[in-house]
Amino acid sequence: MEPTAAARPTRGEVLELTVDALAFGGAGVARRDGYVVFVADGVPGDRVRAEVLKAKRAYAEARAIEIVEPSPDRIEPRAAHPGAPWQVLPYERQLSVKQDQVEDALRRIGRLEDFELETILPAVEPWRYRNKLEYSFGTDASGRLVCGFHTPGRWEEIVEVTDCLLASEAGNAARERVVEWCRDQGLSAYDRRTRGGLLRNLVVRESRRGADGELQVRLVTAPGELDRSGLAAAAQPIGGLLWTRTDSVAETTQDGETELLAGSDRLEEEIGGMRMRISSSAFFQTNTEMAERLYRLAIDYAQPSGTDRLYDLYCGIGTIGLLMAPRAAEVWGLELVEEAIADAIANARLNEVDNARFFAGDVRLALRELVARAGRPDILVVDPPRSGLSQKVVRRIIEAAPRRIVYVSCNPTTLAPNAAQLVEAGYALRKVRPVDMFPQTPHIECVALLERGGGG
């Protein structure tokens, strides 16, 4: 049904709506006379009063301010946690929605057919599964320093957490020790509007299997002075303490200059029987237990043999390539972040893997050069960022002409058009399996297998 002009609301208007479904990204979907309203904090079956935040010609964005009649599926949340918006849905329902959303993206966005959609792989642990959390500093109404997460839609507000249910007890305790020290020192939160204050973020990273659950803490501040020796003593026991100073206006923990204050600047983790050392800025899957299952699935799809040349694109610290190396003739990894490549090379040595080579470079520009140097790949594994692959990278992959492509995706809506481009070039999408890396959230990971021509 086409929406009527009268159906379009105005910003600030409060609507009473029934949520029918969940959109990719987690918002509830409701309709008023055919006009679509995406409702944050609404789940299918809810009758809500929602305040309109944005209104466009085809749809509006709103936030539920009152649950008039809760959905039969709705359950009580375990914690006030903006990072766990789906905790109001039973876990089995979360899995069902994610499975459906992957299929919808592939069929509706990619217009793909004739593939096998395997049943979603559930998480090992639905809570306390994250090995890395990035917290933000702020100030409450009384002027007290707090540390937690930004309120969705209200960037200036911070929801304080004292027990983050996505983090381990040890990780929570380390955060609280550092925050208490910051309060004792009289340090203030950075204000992006005035550029005043010092404290920006606190990053707590944990080794789930290596070095007895060792922790790494990184304090991110604006440029300024800090009693570093006092912080090191207050933060213990931890394996490493780092201080990053940045004058970036953006809310990011990646920029700036980082100094090691105590311990080691790398964490050691074990995955798939291999030891991995991870630098503070390098990417590593934030759910260690499910990363192992994700990579096991990627290996199963890749089916490397002792004669295969394997490319690992966006290889990070080399985890996927190194796990596949014992089954392949040779592995070549490519990654833009130089520090991650240094980790990958060190990890190859650490695990005595001598048939893997890693290089720093932009995949768009370096893939053609890698093919000229190493030869065409038999198998290509790609694990891109949420934005997926650019058309240029897809063209370079098609030029490289691997027999088999394993695409590890953290965003089905970018996997779908990328897979469609590869299918148009002569590949067949064989199968896809969603993997629930992030329970209580709308985020979806999946692995796809594409084969050239008839495969084999």
Tokens at 284, concatenated: 């590593």
* pLDDT at residue 79, rounded to an integer: 87
* pLDDT at residue 456, rounded to an integer: 47
Measured between alpha carbons, how far is 232 from 370 in angstroms, rounded to an integer? 44
3-state SS, residue 194: coil
Measured between alpha carbons, how far is 343 from 358 in angstroms, rounded to an integer? 10
Instruction: DSSP letter for 105, please.
Output: I
Measured between alpha carbons, how far is 146 from 135 in angstroms, rounded to an integer? 10
Nearest to 301 by CA among 283, 287, 314, 320: 320
Which amino acid does the sequence have at 128? R
Residue 145 phi/psi, 5-degree rounding, is: -70, 130
Measured between alpha carbons, how far is 353 from 70 in angstroms, rounded to an integer? 55
* pLDDT at residue 80, rounded to an integer: 84
| pTM, two decimal places | 0.93
Beta-bridge partners for 431: 116, 449
- Domains, the chain, in order of start with CATH, read 5-74 (2.40.50.140), 95-125+287-452 (3.40.50.150), 132-270 (2.40.50.1070)
Q: Residue 392, Cβ neighbours under 10 Å: how many?
A: 12
Tens of pLDDT along the chain (456 residues)?
Answer: 556 556 789 999 999 999 999 999 999 999 998 999 999 999 999 999 999 999 999 999 999 999 999 999 999 999 888 899 999 999 999 999 999 999 999 999 999 999 999 999 999 999 999 999 999 999 998 999 999 998 876 667 899 999 999 999 999 999 999 999 999 999 999 998 888 999 999 999 999 886 566 999 999 999 998 988 889 989 999 999 999 999 987 777 777 899 999 999 999 999 999 999 998 888 899 999 999 999 999 999 999 999 999 999 999 999 999 999 999 999 999 999 999 999 999 999 999 999 999 999 999 999 999 999 999 999 999 999 999 999 999 999 999 999 999 999 999 999 999 999 999 999 999 999 999 999 999 999 999 999 998 554
Active-site annotation, residues? 410
Instruction: DSSP letter for 121, please.
Output: B
For the chain, how many residues are written?
456
Measured between alpha carbons, how far is 347 from 336 in angstroms, rounded to an integer? 17
